[in-house]
Amino acid sequence: MAPFGKIYSYPGNFRVQRAQVVANINGLEVEVPADFAMESTKTPEFLAKFPMGKIPAFEGADGFCIAEGAAIAMYLAGSGPKAQQLMGSVQDIQKRARISEWICFAETELNPQVLPAFVMCVLKYMPFNEASYNNANNNLERALKRVDQATDGGKKQFLVGEELTMADIMVSGPLFFGQGFLIDQKMRDAAPGAIKYLDNLAAMPEFKNVFGEIKKCETRVAAP
């Protein structure tokens, strides 16, 4: 298989793992260099390709470069034989819109809740802000209940239609990640259908081969 491209990032980035799931489904060989140095994002060479100096960043074998986790995953989704399954057919505009809705949900309702808590309480790169922490927890609980509702209490295997789409891949990433430190047993008990849905996805080879075993915390991380 000819290399399709590389994704530059730090290890264990769920935004990259989502893209890896997509690449595997589409049969695309995408490398994630293990020796990538974060300092290189400030170099003229990196900034010439990715002006914002952000990761994840994708560089294709053909020279095409794109940043932003969702954009990378969507590019990979549209670049292989499973594009219609992952993104919906051009003819079914409503299905494509529904998939896009869930992609936006992941980026605006999930990522902004799990990432600040991780940075404040786990990495401790930012001062702890109790109001932001509580707001993130409340918003995440609300978002989980939305997933619970959409899956009919866990009876539905996928968010859109009867097969795996980008909706599932994009939503599951931050929720897999968040279960390790923020989505505790109490929060899981309040949305059992959403957790059943996530557990079913995690058991699929497409996810398991990339994410491995999903860690679940009993009690959410607290103020440092």
Per-residue model confidence as pLDDT tens digits over 95-152: 999 999 999 999 999 999 999 899 999 998 889 999 999 999 999 999 999 999 999 9
Share of the chain above pLDDT 70, in %: 99
Per-residue model confidence as pLDDT tens digits over 80-98: 999 999 999 999 999 999 9
Question: Distance of CA 15 to CAs 70, 149, 172, Å?
Answer: 7, 24, 10
Q: Which amino acid is at 17?
A: Q
Under 8 Å between Cβ of 174 and 111: yes
pTM for the whole structure: 0.95
